[in-house]
């Protein structure tokens, strides 16, 4: 087991099915021996895959990770709609999907690729008048959320299978998308476009920004050995890099501006010793700190 004394960094977790993101954070707090733990983007309990956890000072990077593009593999069931747009909700409708052809599915997928207007699932974690939408739905309220613009850069069909005597069809897909995209909503909208209804039966997140499932560890593996991507390495993976002189590093660490660099920002700025000093952003002729990290990457 881990000693509980860890530095600042990121943990790339392969979240198991049935766990909430909050459950995973609680487990990481116990393994890391610190309360300063957070996650970069919720995964539903039904979903599995990449959940990026920040520990100590690295929690300050989570805001930037949340906004990165993501990749998912999923299974969409055509011919059935549910109240939650996934397999955990009660069935609310649908029509026999036997007549839907692969060409119909391909056309529907193409229409949902690119920059689209998407209405999030009514059971999302979006707040409506201070309360989560899913809580309002569970209390019996009819929740209507506003559409938002999202980008689906890849929506690829891998396999189509007839199930339940051909009444429904399961479609295995890969989706690459911008932050804020709801894969459940894609399943719902594809089913609606085809006139038969649809919902999500499986979801696995395989990438968050630069972090992939190949680099993720299960909770059991992390209980044996807490694998941490150190803060210095995390900054290099997430941002363009600016190498500072000793004088520049001293100025930035004390909140003073320095001359603007080549990248507009955010830029990870490093001391000559290779320590992440700050995230910088150019403002006119100057570079100013968005975040300053204290010297060293200890737990404080």
Query: For this structure, is 44 an active site residue?
Result: yes
Beta strands in the chain (DSSP E): 9-15, 37-39, 48-55, 70-78, 81-82, 91-93, 114-118, 127-128, 131-132, 148-163, 168-177, 198-208, 211-212, 229-230, 241-243, 258-259, 267-270, 276-283, 286-292
Q: What are 14's two structure tokens? A: 């392969």
Q: Which residue, among 172, 155, 176, 72, has the nearest Cα to 111 in the 3D structure?
A: 155
Question: What is the spatial distance between Cα 22 and Cα 3, in angstroms, rounded to a whole number?
Answer: 22
- Of 14, 44, 170, 189, catalytic: 44
Q: Which of 126, 121, 134 is nearest to 86 (CA)?
A: 121
CA-based nearest residue to 184, from 109, 121, 112: 121
Short-list 38, 42, 43, CA closest to 11: 38
- Distance CA(136)–CA(144), nearest Å, equals 11
**Tokens at residue 59, please?**
């929690």
Question: SS3 for 24?
Answer: helix
Task: Name residue 204's beta-bridge partners.
Answer: 48, 73
**Is 174 in contact with 72 (CB distance < 8 Å)?**
yes
Show which residues are catalytic: 44
């Amino acid at each position: 087991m881990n000693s509980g004394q860890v530095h600042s960094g990121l943990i790339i977790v392969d979240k198991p099915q049935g766990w909430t993101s909050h459950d995973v954070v609680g487990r990481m707090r116990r393994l890391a021996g610190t309360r300063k733990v957070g996650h970069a983007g919720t995964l539903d309990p039904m979903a599995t895959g990449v959940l990026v956890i920040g520990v100590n000072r690295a929690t300050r990077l989570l805001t930037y990770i949340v906004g990165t593009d993501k990749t998912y593999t999923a299974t969409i069931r055509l011919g059935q709609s549910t109240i939650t747009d996934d397999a955990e909700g009660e069935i609310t409708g649908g029509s026999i999907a036997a007549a839907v052809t692969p060409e119909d599915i391909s056309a529907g997928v193409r229409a949902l690729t690119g920059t689209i207007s998407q209405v999030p699932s009514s059971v999302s974690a979006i707040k409506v008048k201070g309360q989560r939408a899913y809580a309002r739905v569970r209390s019996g309220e009819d929740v209507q959320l506003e559409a938002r613009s999202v980008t689906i850069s890849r929506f690829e069909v891998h396999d189509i299978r007839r199930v339940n005597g051909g009444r429904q069809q399961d479609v295995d897909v890969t989706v690459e998308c911008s932050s804020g995209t709801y894969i459940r909503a894609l399943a719902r909208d594809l089913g609606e476009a085809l006139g038969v209804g649809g919902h999500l039966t499986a979801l696995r997140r395989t990438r968050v920004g630069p972090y992939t499932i190949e680099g993720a560890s299960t909770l059991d593996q992390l209980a044996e050995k807490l694998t941490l991507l150190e803060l210095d390495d995390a900054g290099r993976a997430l941002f363009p890099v600016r190498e500072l002189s000793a004088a520049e590093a001293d100025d930035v660490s004390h909140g003073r501006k320095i001359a603007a660099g080549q990248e507009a920002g955010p830029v990870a700025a490093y001391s000559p010793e290779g320590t992440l000093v700050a995230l910088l952003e150019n403002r006119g002729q100057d570079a100013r700190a968005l975040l300053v990290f204290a010297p060293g990457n200890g737990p404080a």
